[in-house]
Amino acid sequence: MPVVITYFPHGATVDNENGISSGWSDPPLSEKGKQQALELRERIKGRKFDVVFCSDLKRAADTAKLCFGDGTFVIEDRRLRECNYGKLNGSPSAIVEPLQEKRIKERFDGGECYEDVRERIFDFLEFIKQNHENDSVAVVSHKAPQLIFDVLLKGKTWEQAFADDWRKQGAWQPGWEYILE
């Protein structure tokens, strides 16, 4: 039976507002990010999720707790982390973002490539398939995991996933649905 996964991005961070690509560094949500999480809570009020997973990085965990925190058990999972940019964690986005599409198979110095993240997300999805059959699952995470959901669950190429990324289009929405069969 299929699993419906609804993906939610974490709220804005201090790094986001300062043009920094965090990677595995762990900045807090900004005041705007906290407000975004509370607004998302209102926008999805009435939707039922059987389980909520989030990255173990503070920005995703805090978004999940603000959005789903009223008695909903939120499970932090390190497989849902952003790509590890290695020596470039916490560096200006003007440096990191142009490199992302070039790091599909080639690792960031001291970090990961997108194929490494793909392996983490594939493992996470296998776990979901085995343990949450027929459930409605919420995931609060980062850019790289969402791109990989597009590749693994929507059949997009890496090039399509990067080109269609809502962040480039400014096309945020209150959740993206994926079907895991």
The residues assigned a catalytic role are 10, 82
Measured between alpha carbons, how far is 32 from 43 in angstroms, rounded to an integer? Answer: 16
Show Cβ contacts of residue 55 under 8 Å, excluding neighbours closer than 6 positions. 10, 61, 76, 77, 78, 80, 81, 82, 140, 141, 142, 145
| DSSP assignments along 92-128, one per residue | EHHHHHHHHTT-SSS--TTS--HHHHHHHHHHHHHHH
- Cβ–Cβ < 8 Å for 137, 51: yes
